[in-house]
Structure 1
Amino acid sequence: MNRQRRKEVWQRRTEDRGQWASKTEYLLVVAGQVVGLGNVWRFPYLCYKNGGGAFLVPYGLFALLFGVPLFLLETAIGQYTQEGFVTCWTKLCPLAQGVGYGHIIMKMFDLSFIIIQAWALFYLVFSFSSQLPWASCENTWNTGNCLSLQILNSNSTNQTRLENATSAAVEFWERRVLGMSGGIEELGRVRWELALCLLACWVFCYFSIWKSVRSSGKVAYVTATFPYAMLLILLIRGATLPGAQDGIYYYLYPDLNRLANLQVWIEAGSQVMFSYSLSIGTLPVLASYNEYNNNCYKDCFWLCLLNSGTSFVAGFAVFSVLGFMAQSQGVTVDTVVDSGPGLAFIAYPQAAALMPLPQFWTVCFFLMLLFLSVDTHFVTVECLITSITDFFPNLFHKKGRNEIFVLVICLVFFLMHLMLVTEGGIYIFQLFDYYGATRACNYFMAFFQCLALSWGFGADRIFNIIEDMAGQRPNVFFKLCWKCIIPAVSLISFILYLVEYQHLKFNGWYVYPDWAYALGWTMMLSSVLMVPLWAAGKILVTVRTSTQHLSALCHPAEDPALQRTKMGEETSVELVTHGVAT
């Protein structure tokens, strides 16, 4: 009877709220979200920087002890509650609802990464030129210190000239694409070409989510699979280049001495958090559109394996090209490799320009980059909108997704992001990236999330929920991770971040003004402080207005109509909370 009642409640809710048309759509959307830009440039760079093959040791341990258990936990609570990342806490642990509000703030900062789409689209358009503009110095934006690729790769180039020069690829990036000003104080004018690219990205985002999961699930068939085709092409091409073996050697050479460095372990944990999309509210929202009986337990393992496997394979594609580039210039790999935008928008375009049919390879690369960022972005917007509309189910769920509301959200953020396409926009983007949704926020949210669910709501109840939904009981190892390992690692990592904090410096030399650092800390604390402030406010209101015990804030009361169930059916009773039954 209890199980049938849960199914009826779930069916009524999904009819109003919507659900995935098929299991395939869900898997493709989640895969598109977790497999993103971090797999293509961040993981290979961290491997190289932190001991090559030795980095796989801490990465593997963090994936096993931190990534997979937290991935399962977030997926399970979303599928069970059928709610966004804010309202789900009313059915689990109302005291921790501040985690959901913190996720809203983090999502708003995450949306600034759409600028990477705009940059990729800009490069893609120029990739169809008869002569790639970042390969020569015969352009209006080049300076007298510019060196073309032919001269840069010439062994006869004067060493003094090399020290005082900049490559054509760097000048195209800084002077043509960004039009960089002297600092964040000089925003300058809006670069209309980038603004058009930004508009195109937001238009595509709107039509990807305007029908909620009914449209985003269909879009994922292309956006989640196409990058793999491009990655395979680039991998094959990279492996056949001269010098590829040197790049792969630098990528995988194990420096076991680096394992004694605490920073290596911290960055391994950060990479797992980043690439698995943990503690940002995405996984619960995507899982909330699943059928109640979906086997989330099995999905978790396959999706995590896909993510880590893609990261590892992408390293071969990236570093084989960097090895080729190093051999062409007569230098070592460590002088051409870089992290973040430098790798994607300087090093790789410069290397592709040296290959036969350079236009083809740059088109492949930037198409892959574009689709990787598109997936992550429209899923982020979808999760934000879902969590907002779940506040007003009578307004949005009964009538279907309000397409005007989605349009308003996209339009508002497009106007806000125009500051990112100004001449000082790159300085603002780096500020968002460094402070807005930094790893400190992720670790802080993971700590309180596991604390609330495993100790407040109850790890045993979560086990019962997963068993009821997936048809199999999780290994007791996951309980140990949720209750002890993840909270301990998260708290230690958060403290270490604060202890080792250093001010952001753009390109290693530009120092931001004091007001920018104050703004950065405000951005970070705006999400972090939502958790304790909400908990304190909830306790204060409960103590003053109710005689109900405070423990009710940690796990909602069971449905009174079901409290008469026999002790032999206790497991089923625990699964029907007051929030779901009503």
Structure 2
Amino acid sequence: MTEETDKRGSAEEHGQDKQDPEEGVQPRGKWANNMEFILSMAGEIIGLGNVWRFPYLCYKNGGGVFLIPYCVFLFCCGIPVFFLETALGQYTSEGGVTAWRKICPMFEGVGIASQVIVIYLNIYYIVVLAWAIFYLINSFKSPLPWSSCANPWNTDVCFSRPGLFANPELFNKDSNWSFLHNISASGYEDYYSNFNETFLLKVSSPEEEFWENRVLRMSHGSGLGDVHWDLALCLLFAWVICYFCIWKGIKTTGKVVYFTATFPYLMLFILFIRGVTLPGAADGLKYYLKPNFSKLAEPNVWCDAGTQVFFSYAVCQGVLTALGSYNKYNNNCYKDCLVLCCLNSATSIFAGFAVFSIIGFMAHDLNIPISDVTASGPGLAFIAYPRALSLLPGSSFWAVLFFLMILFLGLDSQFVCVESLATAITDLFPSRLRRPGAREILVLVIAVTCFLLGLPFVTEGGIGLFRIVDTFGPSGTSLLLIACAETLVVSWVYGADRFYDNIEDMIGYRPSPVLKYCWMFVTPLICVATLLYNLATDSPQSVYSELFGSSASTIAALLIATPLICIPVYIFIALRRDPNNMTTPSKDLRQVSPDKPVLTLCNLVIFQAQRRPNRNPEERNTKTAEELTSFGID
């Protein structure tokens, strides 16, 4: 790096705010070191989806073959958008809304749309942590309350099959099987052979009944019903933890992630070691990775791969921009993004080994097909995996480890989302919210508001509402359209070459030119193609009307339309406010090569340099001299 670059970086490192200082207004903070940024980003992108969604999609869509479409979407969409958002935050030193306002005022709505998605996540995602806390509390009981049918919430059709591994004494000669209606061990096999199909369709496992009748307590009528106050207390406790993780800003967030981002890896590794040493684990791993190349011809496989990449990399939510905005100006965010993307995908694959080794053991122990115990989402975390853990000796110990892992996997994703929203709001009103004590009050208001809005999810009908918001809140439709807008704005409106110049000014070299063409052509085309396929094949109304009545389609439409409508609304606002400067970047942004074309293609100039309006030569020279003086250059 040159002496001039070092001086420039030094000026930026000390929190140059690019705004007129006001009395009592605190400067914008920076990460204490690069490791805090790395761990915060890792905590956000590595979450529950790595454990309960990727392994299921992998086995469902051709095993190891699923990695082919997954990698295609990763390199063509995931990494380009991930790096774009992170670099944008670092360059502008602004949150998810004001960053877009500064590079292109007309598309401030793109940032607003991403914050609406973050609001959805802040409200409903933490409900999973409330469930995890509820299970964690019950994991200290022995025997585990979901391992038997002798509980008040169990029904007459509850049936528990004891496992040989955890209960070998039950399979000895003359064992006592009185808990199965006085059936002896010698009659155990005959007992199962006499089941008729009607009874098999009616029976339910104790794990399912604990989840449905004890945790969710679902009502069979329409509407939300009563609030379950024990779950509400778990939700409140989750919000208290979340609040104190981030109430002081990145000063606390950067320290907390040292634990919350690394502890789940320790738990996952312990569960993996335990899983692969169990009988039947090899069958589970084979089922997980066995390639089926015929699946590559199915469009659903490619759609699932794209959806997984967008969800697991937290793109189009403004979170990456917010976290990147706290970097020092000359941080090598390009290298950081590549490392984080590799870490995220490797974690997903490794989590599959931990999950399917346990599932293979459970299928072996209960002598049932693996397909009967595979599940995704809450079904894996709160039914299938607890069932497998209850079959192990010392089941309470393993259950505590598992739900601690679930809690911390979700916790850092949750409080980073809250941090992103707080950052965006603070950057919108810096003169008011960067004063002493304002940060704590803002985060408290966000926490209390989201807690109250989250109470409907812990009611009798809350699981139906949860599924609707989970599907249509941060939906594939919304994320694909926002990703398409982001790449088109940066590459064709702001100018891909100008953005490359900005990145080179920050990190000292130009990234791979492949990213430029992904932003310009590949990523938007893939997003549009995937979106059209989703719209042509999905029928959400018929699926979710059973879960939440006739209003399900209305709720789904509102959830999708609310963020997307922000984009055209803010285009109209910019048109009314200042039609001559709708695409003009802020004067605060450093442009090292203002006279270079903003976009070229195959050495052909597509768009010339964009001149800033109302700046005569004398004023421009004066401004340049002031910039050089601020960096210590005479």
Q: TM-score, normalised by structure 2?
A: 0.85
Task: Check if 1:165 corresponds to 2:203.
Answer: yes
2:551 is aligned, of 505, 508, 515, to: 515
* Cα 1:575–1:317 shift into 2, 3 Å: farther
Task: Check if 1:80 corresponds to 2:116.
Answer: no
Task: Check if 1:554 corresponds to 2:583.
Answer: yes
Matches within 5 A, 1:360-379: 360-379=397-416
Alpha-carbon shift at residue 415 of structure 1 (Å): 1.2
Residues 559, 576 of structure 1: 8 Å contact kept: no
Q: In the aligned structure 2, how far is the partner of 1:326 from the partner of 1:555?
A: 61
Task: Check if 1:36 corresponds to 2:34.
Answer: no
Q: In the aligned structure 2, how far is the partner of 1:538 from the partner of 1:140?
A: 61
Q: In the aligned structure 2, how far is the partner of 1:452 from the partner of 1:469?
A: 20
- The one-letter code sitting in structure 1 at the alignment partner of 2:207 is A
Indicate the residue corresponding to 1:182 in structure 2. Answer: 220
- The one-letter code sitting in structure 1 at the alignment partner of 2:141 is S
Alpha-carbon shift at residue 504 of structure 1 (Å): 5.4
Residues 87, 97 of structure 1: 8 Å contact kept: yes
- The one-letter code sitting in structure 2 at the alignment partner of 1:25 is E
Alpha-carbon shift at residue 95 of structure 1 (Å): 1.3
Indicate the residue corresponding to 2:73 in structure 1. Answer: 62
Structure 1: state its 5+ residue gaps.
Answer: none
Residues 496, 598 of structure 2: 8 Å contact kept: no
Task: Check if 1:23 corresponds to 2:34.
Answer: yes
Task: Check if 1:144 corresponds to 2:156.
Answer: yes
Alpha-carbon shift at residue 540 of structure 1 (Å): 4.3
Paired residue secondary structure (2:148)? coil
Residues 9, 328 of structure 2: 8 Å contact kept: no
Indicate the residue corresponding to 2:531 in structure 1. Answer: 494
- The one-letter code sitting in structure 1 at the alignment partner of 2:247 is W
| 1:350-399 CA distance string (max 9 Å, x none) | 00000111111111111100000001100001101110111111112244
Residues 212, 401 of structure 1: 8 Å contact kept: no
2:138 is aligned, of 126, 130, 133, to: 126
Matches within 5 A, 1:326-405: 326-399=363-436, 401-405=438-442
Aligned positions, number: 570
2:297 is aligned, of 257, 260, 265, to: 260
Residues 228, 458 of structure 2: 8 Å contact kept: yes
- The one-letter code sitting in structure 1 at the alignment partner of 2:551 is W
Paired residue secondary structure (1:146)? coil
Residues 135, 149 of structure 1: 8 Å contact kept: no
Alpha-carbon shift at residue 151 of structure 1 (Å): 8.3
Task: Check if 1:534 corresponds to 2:545.
Answer: no
- The one-letter code sitting in structure 1 at the alignment partner of 2:102 is K
Q: In the aligned structure 2, how far is the partner of 1:577 from the partner of 1:242?
A: 70
Paired residue secondary structure (2:551)? helix
- The one-letter code sitting in structure 1 at the alignment partner of 2:66 is F
Paired residue secondary structure (2:17)? helix
Alpha-carbon shift at residue 325 of structure 1 (Å): 1.2
Q: In the aligned structure 1, how far is the partner of 2:590 from the partner of 2:139?
A: 66
Q: In the aligned structure 2, how far is the partner of 1:478 from the partner of 1:577?
A: 27
Identity %: 45
Residues 39, 275 of structure 1: 8 Å contact kept: yes
* Cα 1:567–1:207 shift into 2, 3 Å: closer
| 1:149-201 CA distance string (max 9 Å, x none) | 42899654343343321000000000001111115x33222111111110100
Q: In the aligned structure 1, how far is the partner of 2:11 from the partner of 2:33?
A: 20
Residues 180, 423 of structure 1: 8 Å contact kept: yes
Alpha-carbon shift at residue 534 of structure 1 (Å): 1.7
Q: In the aligned structure 2, how far is the partner of 1:13 from the partner of 1:207?
A: 26
Matches within 5 A, 1:389-538: 389-399=426-436, 401-503=438-540, 510-538=546-574
Q: In the aligned structure 2, how far is the partner of 1:534 from the partner of 1:498?
A: 25
- The one-letter code sitting in structure 1 at the alignment partner of 2:557 is W
Which segment is superposed worse, 158-167 or 43-52?
158-167
Task: Check if 1:104 corresponds to 2:115.
Answer: yes
Q: In the aligned structure 1, how far is the partner of 2:318 from the partner of 2:145?
A: 41
* Cα 1:234–1:575 shift into 2, 3 Å: farther
| 1:486-543 CA distance string (max 9 Å, x none) | 111111222222222212567x993542222112111111111211222133224444
- The one-letter code sitting in structure 2 at the alignment partner of 1:150 is P
* Cα 1:568–1:367 shift into 2, 3 Å: closer
Indicate the residue corresponding to 2:23 in structure 1. Answer: none
Which segment is superposed worse, 427-436 or 4-13?
4-13
Alpha-carbon shift at residue 409 of structure 1 (Å): 1.3
Find the structure with the greater CA-based Rg: 2
| 1:254-295 CA distance string (max 9 Å, x none) | 110000011111110111111111111110100000000100
Q: In the aligned structure 1, how far is the partner of 2:590 from the partner of 2:119?
A: 41
Task: Check if 1:12 corresponds to 2:16.
Answer: yes
| 1:13-54 CA distance string (max 9 Å, x none) | 296111111111111010011100110011000001111111
Paired residue secondary structure (2:224)? coil
* Cα 1:566–1:418 shift into 2, 3 Å: closer
Which segment is superposed worse, 45-54 or 403-412?
403-412
Q: In the aligned structure 1, how far is the partner of 2:254 from the partner of 2:590?
A: 38
Residues 545, 552 of structure 2: 8 Å contact kept: no
Q: TM-score, normalised by structure 1?
A: 0.92
Alpha-carbon shift at residue 5 of structure 1 (Å): 6.9
1:307 is aligned, of 344, 348, 367, to: 344
Q: In the aligned structure 2, how far is the partner of 1:230 from the partner of 1:447?
A: 37
Residues 385, 406 of structure 1: 8 Å contact kept: yes
* Cα 1:260–1:577 shift into 2, 3 Å: farther
Residues 30, 286 of structure 1: 8 Å contact kept: yes
- The one-letter code sitting in structure 1 at the alignment partner of 2:17 is R
Q: In the aligned structure 1, how far is the partner of 2:93 from the partner of 2:611?
A: 13
Q: In the aligned structure 1, how far is the partner of 2:159 from the partner of 2:577?
A: 67
Indicate the residue corresponding to 2:238 in structure 1. Answer: 201
Alpha-carbon shift at residue 102 of structure 1 (Å): 0.8
| 1:106-154 CA distance string (max 9 Å, x none) | 1111121100000011001111102101100111111111112428996
Alpha-carbon shift at residue 227 of structure 1 (Å): 0.1
- The one-letter code sitting in structure 2 at the alignment partner of 1:94 is P
